[in-house]
Amino acid sequence: MKQERSFRKVLLALAVGCAFSTAAIAAVTDQDISDDAKTTADVVSYGMGLQGQRFSPLDKLNADTVKNLTPAFVLSYGDEKQRGQEAQPLVHNGKIFVTASYSRVFAADAKTGEEIWQYDHRLPEGIMPCCDVVNRGGALYDNLFIFSTLDAQLVALDQDTGKVVWKEKMEDFKAGYSNTAAPIVVKGMVITGVSGGEFGVVGKVEARDAKTGKLIWSRPTVEGHMGTLDGKDNGITGETNKSWPGDLWKTGGAATWLGGTYDAETDSLFFGTGNPSPWNSHLRPGDNLYSSSVLAINPADGKIKWHYQWTPHDGWDFDGVNEFVSFDLKKDDGTVVKAGGHADRNGFFYVLDRTNGKLINATPFVNKITWAKGIDLKTGRPEYDDTNRPGAPGSAEKGTSVFSAPSFLGGKNWMPMAYNPGTDLFYVPANEWGMDIWNEPISYKKGAAYLGAGFTIKPLNDDYIGALRAMDPKTGKIVWEAKNKAPLWGGVLTTAGNLVFTGTPEGYLKAFDAKTGAELWKFQTGSGVVGCPVTWEQDGEQFVAVPSGWGGAVPLWGGEVAKSVKNLNQGGSLWVFKLPKTTS
């Protein structure tokens, strides 16, 4: 086994050598990926750097010049397959790559928008993705564009031709698995999570050889499950049955459906995990590790270094998948702590020591939180408000309705926040909503009587749901906010030009002053913006790109909220803007 592995390393080295000799400039290297946050001519990773800060050091485009930002081109995704466009584009070697709904990929000339190729993944019948047919982006490595599909495959395409180089089945879509997250590439390995809406799915994080797709290690996220390394057992996750009753750990959930980030300084992968199964917390007393948590994983062998559980014994479907963003916490006494920031669905903004997972601070980033009175900084655990936990099923009566805020769609959902080391602020796309939740004895599943839960999502304010908020990680306080009528569902970008970009379901891409929150610029893209903006520089001009196309979970789950968004039109296009040379 050992031999086989070193043999593969030799092959790998040969392959790298070849790539260099034939297309020295085109190949994306590990170094390119490590430097992505610093380099301004390309965007080669999800998060614009593996730490996920979504910060660009470019400053030609700034609070003064942003008024001159003008459309460069728009690329239409075409056909009737519209729905949510949640992707983050990538830019390399003069090409822009973007994934689209229904597991499609487009490559275009980054300057002119002229399409180079399009890849339409053939989706089988019977896939059942839970929350729209979105895709959140790909990863670049060597000559490959790697992305995951709704039928739970990982596909590597040739960057120049769009032809499939390798394809690996991550999981069986027939068992309820699918995938929409952007993979990341760390040390030549493509790292992914899994998603699955059905019961019986157990989350895991996996590393594959980025050039071949061959599995290297797998790390399940629920205690009791065996991990693997090079096809051999590699230790059980946690301690079997420590925080679960009976055999429920076998089907415990904790799906890693949003992918993860990586920090080279601590050599750790950070992957968030979803809610535990079954949904009703009364049926599974215990913390239910490692659901609704973040796991720090060693990329060399897939072992868990530490964990922090955002919502132990999650009873609200809060998930814990939101991104964990590494940053330097500059304290008032001049010390710098290697920290990480995270805005959870549960409404708290957390700062952890990323070397050991110890809680440094946790404060609300939304105005109303009912499930907990606070997070105890000594124990790191929530102070629950037990009266606000949804009730136990089993009764024939419609249980008392509990009003819970945030709603299960979260104070912040999947849409990635950004961190600006210049302002030392996090920019969080937040939503103010709650839910009425009750036990619903009159429900059916697969034609059989069932004890379900009923819920209605409700806005907390008449005039807005969304609020882009600047959070100070040192104080945990909200520094500024920019309200939005519809819920925010798109990612955030911040730049050294003192700017913050994000999109709105109403169709605008907007730019804000990073220090004050003043709205400086907006552009109507024609459909809701729920994708992630990026910026880069080419031939002396700064570009900004964002996908446009309304969709995602809100129109599917929105309850009363759905009313406020029902007139938004779908779409499917990539908008690219630039600051013309003459005006910068």
**DSSP-assigned states of every residue in 371-417:** SEEEE-TTT--EEE-GGGSPPPS--SSPPPPEEESS-TT-SS-SS--
Q: Of 233, 332, 444, 567, which lies in the binding site for other proteins, with binding defined by CB under 8 A?
A: 444
Q: Which of 132, 317, 319, 513 is catalytic?
A: 317
Is 246 a binder of other proteins (CB under 8 A)?
Answer: yes
Look at the block and give the residue holding tokens 């089988």: 124
Contact by Cβ (8 Å): 471, 478: yes
Between the alpha carbon of residue 263 and those of residues 33, 37, 326, 329, 509, the distances in Å are 12, 12, 7, 14, 29
Look at the block and give the residue holding tokens 């380099």: 39
Is 144 a binder of other proteins (CB under 8 A)?
Answer: no
Contact by Cβ (8 Å): 562, 96: no
Confirm or deny that 413 is annotated as ligand binding.
Answer: yes
Is 394 a binder of other proteins (CB under 8 A)?
Answer: yes
Look at the block and give the residue holding tokens 């440094």: 360
Is 286 a binder of other proteins (CB under 8 A)?
Answer: no
Confirm or deny that 86 is annotated as ligand binding.
Answer: yes
Q: Of 446, 462, 567, 582, which lies in the binding site for other proteins, with binding defined by CB under 8 A?
A: 446
Q: Of 212, 240, 251, 584, which lies in the binding site for other proteins, with binding defined by CB under 8 A?
A: 251
Q: Of 57, 286, 441, 559, which lies in the binding site for other proteins, with binding defined by CB under 8 A?
A: 441
Q: Tell me which residues in 468-527 interact with other proteins (CB under 8 A).
A: none
Q: Tell me which residues in 71-100 interact with other proteins (CB under 8 A).
A: 83
- Site map (CB under 8 A) of other proteins, residues 396-435, x = contact: x---------------------------------------
Q: Which stretch binds other proteins (CB under 8 A): 276-284, 460-468, 478-486, 511-519?
A: 276-284
> Rounded to the nearest whole angstrom, what is the least distance from the CB of residue 184 to other proteins in the complex?
27
Is 123 a binder of other proteins (CB under 8 A)?
Answer: yes
> Rounded to the nearest whole angstrom, what is the least distance from the CB of residue 414 to other proteins in the complex?
18
Confirm or deny that 356 is annotated as ligand binding.
Answer: no
Between the alpha carbon of residue 325 and those of residues 26, 339, 430, 558, the distances in Å are 29, 8, 16, 28
Confirm or deny that 414 is annotated as ligand binding.
Answer: yes
Is 280 a binder of other proteins (CB under 8 A)?
Answer: yes
Q: Of 22, 76, 112, 395, which lies in the binding site for other proteins, with binding defined by CB under 8 A?
A: 395
Q: Toward other proteins, which CB reaches closer, 133 or 362?
A: 133
Tell me, yes or no, if 230 is annotated catalytic. Answer: no
Is 122 a binder of other proteins (CB under 8 A)?
Answer: no
> Rounded to the nearest whole angstrom, what is the least distance from the CB of residue 568 to other proteins in the complex?
15
3-class secondary structure, 30 = helix
Residues β-bridged to residue 521: 511
Q: Of 58, 133, 205, 296, which lies in the binding site for other proteins, with binding defined by CB under 8 A?
A: 133
> Rounded to the nearest whole angstrom, what is the least distance from the CB of residue 392 to other proteins in the complex?
7
Q: Of 445, 462, 540, 567, which lies in the binding site for other proteins, with binding defined by CB under 8 A?
A: 445
Q: Binding residues for other proteins, how many (CB under 8 A)?
A: 42
Q: Of 199, 226, 400, 461, which lies in the binding site for other proteins, with binding defined by CB under 8 A?
A: 199
Q: Of 4, 9, 11, 200, which lies in the binding site for other proteins, with binding defined by CB under 8 A?
A: 200
Contact by Cβ (8 Å): 134, 101: yes
| Among candidate residues 297, 215, 287, the one with its CA nearest the CA of residue 254 | 287
Q: Toward other proteins, which CB reaches closer, 12 or 127?
A: 127
Q: Rounded distance, CA 325 to CA 320, Å?
A: 13
Between the alpha carbon of residue 291 and those of residues 155, 253, 288, 321, 555, the distances in Å are 28, 7, 6, 9, 26
Degrees (nearest 5) of the Cα angle 209, 213, 214? 70
Q: Rounded distance, CA 196 to CA 179, Å?
A: 8
3-class secondary structure, 545 = strand
Q: CA torsion, points 562, 565, 568, 570, in degrees to nearest 10?
A: -50
3-state DSSP of 103-143: CEEEEEECCCCCEEEEEECCCCCCCCCCCCCCCCCCEEEEC
> How many of the other CB atoms lie within 10 Å of CB of 22?
10
Confirm or deny that 379 is annotated as ligand binding.
Answer: no
Degrees (nearest 5) of the Cα angle 49, 554, 177? 65
Confirm or deny that 244 is annotated as ligand binding.
Answer: no
Q: Please list the active-site residues.
A: 317
Footprint on this chain of other proteins (rule: CB under 8 A): 83, 123, 125-129, 132-133, 175, 197, 199-200, 245-248, 250-251, 277-278, 280, 282-284, 392-396, 441-452
Binding site as annotated, residues for Ca(2+): 198, 275, 317
Binding residues for pyrroloquinoline quinone: 86, 136, 180, 413-414
